[in-house]
Chains A and B, each alone.
Chain A
Amino acid sequence: MGERLSANHSGDFMALLRAHGLWRETELIPSERVAPAVQEVHGTTVIALKYRDGVLNVGDRRATAANAIMYDRAEKILPLDDYTLIAIAGSYARAMEIVRYLQHSFKYYARTQLQEMSLEGKLAEVSRALAGNLGMALQGIGLFIPVVSAYDQNRGEGRIFFYDAMGARFESVEFGAAGSGSERIRGVFDYILKTKGPFHEMTLEDALRESLLLLDIAADLDSATAGIEKVLPVARAVTGEGILDIPEEQLSDIRSTLRR
């Protein structure tokens, strides 16, 4: 018992999973053996906006496989811990597996090391998980793009980070978005910034209104995005006090005030 345990005292969850054969390495398959692309389930549009108390994340509920709508209750905004949210777009299966990995990895570190993993450490862990995904992504499946929102307790502010498929990390000043609908609405973010002022000065109410409107526009321009009409989106915020789940009634009240 002792020998097995002393090997891993750095709180590295990936090392623990590898040691027990539980970490699924993705591997490159020679191109002649690659089957026609699997029709995997994809999540569509997610949005992260800074606001006064932190960062607001909103995502529609649709998941698609090619032209088919697979599911209209998908959760694409998920808490990684009490101060970190992840919004996912792309391969739903792989994203969920990596989210589960990250949730456990952060907790595992905190519980074994008796201190929280630093924000930098968490962001690097997301990169590492994405880099491990590259083999699959290169073959056209398992590709997903996360947006990570965190409350930085040292600075006392919310921060938004987005990634590419290889795990490169970039910090965003005001907003972040990912998924099929996000490209279509890029200009809308800038329009709001230039006409209504920076997102980080907005109240939660205002940020919610803008984000619902953004999702609504994305749904008009992108067939894979469900928008806000049939099923309300998921909205969560990360603040200095932890994760805030925004109740459906509040969303539906705001939806009823939108001019559409």
Chain B
Amino acid sequence: MVYTPYDFNESVRHRTEYIEERLRDGSPVAGISYDGGVLLLTLRRTQRKIFEVYDRLMFAGLGNQSDLEIIRVGAIDFAHQEGYARSPDDVTIQRVVGFAISPGIKRAFGDVLNAPFVVRALFAEMGRKPEEDLFYTLNYDGEFVSLNWAAAVAGTPEAEEQMIRQLVPKDAEGAPDLHTALRRALRAWAVGRLWVTDMHLQEEGAESLTEERIETFLREQLQDLQVEAAILDRFTKRERKFRLLKEDEIRPVLPP
């Protein structure tokens, strides 16, 4: 069989459709910087979704669980080898995502004889100050984008845009406190999910996203999902900066 450029384009299109179809239904992840650290938040059934990668690095994503697991272990392996062989300061988000993870995903996507990664992943790195925090979102084709202050991964790129609007409101100034960050992240999650599932919403536009509509949706979702939120703590004296938030820390931002 002769393989032509046309076949290649066609196969890439098919792969893209196949992957995006599967990602649409995923539970979004919101990331936001706050004064005392960095927060990642999502909703899940039973399996954990937010993971510590290294001292100042954490990760979450949506898509195929086993693909996410490969990325998780790959990032942890690279980070610890580098941290040991060189220094913890040399383990940065741009090296982990840009050189350890992205090339393999890019290769898998371009290789028509192999299964591509079905994932959208969000990495967060804590700096000394909120303005030094970094987020990287990584797509199934290996492309990645770096962001400050906040980032999101969701079922579609449009949903991600809507989430960012919730995470960084126009009137926002500087880094919020943890309570505000949690509140924004939870609402961003709801908006990211609604944007994909509610067909009317895209026609009505973002203006129709009232607080009431968000809260009703959240209450509904919380019937069978639970909030998972994790932080990298900027000021803790502990060796491990990563910590999953406890139920009583999350409860205050849940809809009444």
Take A5-B70, A5-B73, A111-B51 as given contacts and tell me if A242 and B84 are in contact as well, using a CB distance cutoff of 8 Å. no
A17: chain B residues within 8 A (beta carbon): 81, 84
A196 at the interface (CB under 8 A from B): no
Task: Classify the interface of chain B: helix, strand, loop or mixed.
Answer: helix
Query: What is the interface residue range for chain B against chain A?
Result: 20 to 34
For residue A112, CB closer than 8 A to chain B, the reply is: yes
Tell yes or no: A75 within 8 A of B by CB: no
A108→B76 contact, CB < 8 A: yes
Q: Which of A8-16, A32-40, A117-125 contacts B (4 or more CB under 8 A)?
A: A8-16
Q: Which of B80, B83, B85 has the most CB of A within 10 A?
A: B80
Q: Which of A99-107, A136-144, A199-207 contacts B (4 or more CB under 8 A)?
A: A99-107
Q: Given that A17-B84, A100-B84, A111-B53 are known contacts, is A5 also in contact with B239, CB under 8 Å in the complex?
A: no
Q: What are the residues of chain A within 8 A of B157 when measuring CB–CB?
A: none
How many angstroms between the C-alpha atoms of A108 and B52 in the bound complex?
10
Which of B48, B70, B80 contacts A107 (CB under 8 A)? B80
CB <8 Å contact, B81 and A20: yes
Q: Are B74 and A9 in contact (CB under 8 A)?
A: no
What residue of chain A has the Cβ atom nearest to residue B87's Cβ?
A100
Task: Name 10 A/B residue pairs within 8 A (Cβ), A-sorted.
Answer: A17-B81, A22-B81, A82-B240, A101-B84, A108-B76, A111-B52, A111-B80, A112-B76, A242-B237, A243-B237
- Contact A81–B80 (Cβ < 8 Å): no
Within 8 A of A (CB), among B40-88: 48, 51-55, 70, 73-74, 76-77, 80-81, 83-85
Quick check: is B170 within 8 A (CB to CB) of the other chain?
Answer: no
Q: A16-B77, A16-B80, A107-B80 are in contact. Are A81 and B70 (CB under 8 A)?
A: no
Q: Residue on B with the closest CB to A79? A: B239
Q: How far is the CA of A243 from the CA of B236 in the complex (A)?
A: 12
Q: Is the CB of A81 within 8 A of B73?
A: no
Within 8 A of B (CB), among A207-260: 242-243, 245
Chain B residue nearest to A23 (CB atoms) is B84
- Interface residue SS majority, chain A: helix
The complex places the Cα of A168 from the Cα of B124 at a distance, in Å, of 41
Q: Indicate the size class of the contact surface on chain A.
A: 20 to 34
- Please give the distance in Å from A79's CB to the nearest CB on chain B: 6
**B239→A82 contact, CB < 8 A:** yes
B214 at the interface (CB under 8 A from A): no
Hey, what's the 0/1 contact readout for A26-45 against B, CB within 8 Å counting as 1? 00000000000000000000
Report if B107 contacts A (CB, 8 A): yes
On whether the beta carbons of B70 and A8 are closer than 8 Å, the reply is: no
Residues of B within 8 A of A16 (CB): 77, 80-81
Q: Chain A residues in contact with chain B, CB under 8 A?
A: 1-2, 4-6, 8-9, 13, 16-17, 20, 22, 79, 81-82, 100-101, 103-104, 107-108, 110-112, 114, 242-243, 245
Given the complex, which residues of B lie within 8 Å of A100, measured CB to CB?
A: 84
B176 contacts the other chain (CB 8 A): no
Return chain A residues, CB-CB under 8 Å to B84: 13, 17, 22, 100-101, 104
Question: Which residues of B are found within 8 Å of A107, using beta-carbon distances?
Answer: 55, 80, 239-240
Determine the distance from Cα of A219 to Cα of B17 in the docked complex, in whole angstroms. Answer: 74
Q: B residues within 8 A CB of A5?
A: 70, 73-74, 77
A2 in contact with B80 given A22-B85, A82-B240 (CB within 8 Å): no
- A contact residues around B48 at 8 Å (CB): 114
Whether A104 pairs with B83 at a CB distance below 8 angstroms is: yes
Query: Are A243 and B51 neighbours in the complex by a CB distance under 8 Å?
Result: no
Q: Which chain A residues lie closer than 8 Å to B54 at the CB level?
A: 111
Please state if A1 and B77 are interface contacts (CB–CB under 8 Å). no
- Residues of B near A79 (CB, < 8 A) are 239
Tell me which residues across on chain B come within 8 A of A9, comparing CB atoms.
73
Q: How far is the CB of B116 from chain A (nearest CB, A)?
A: 12
- Complexed CA–CA distance, A108 and B53 (Å): 9
B110 within 8 A of A: no
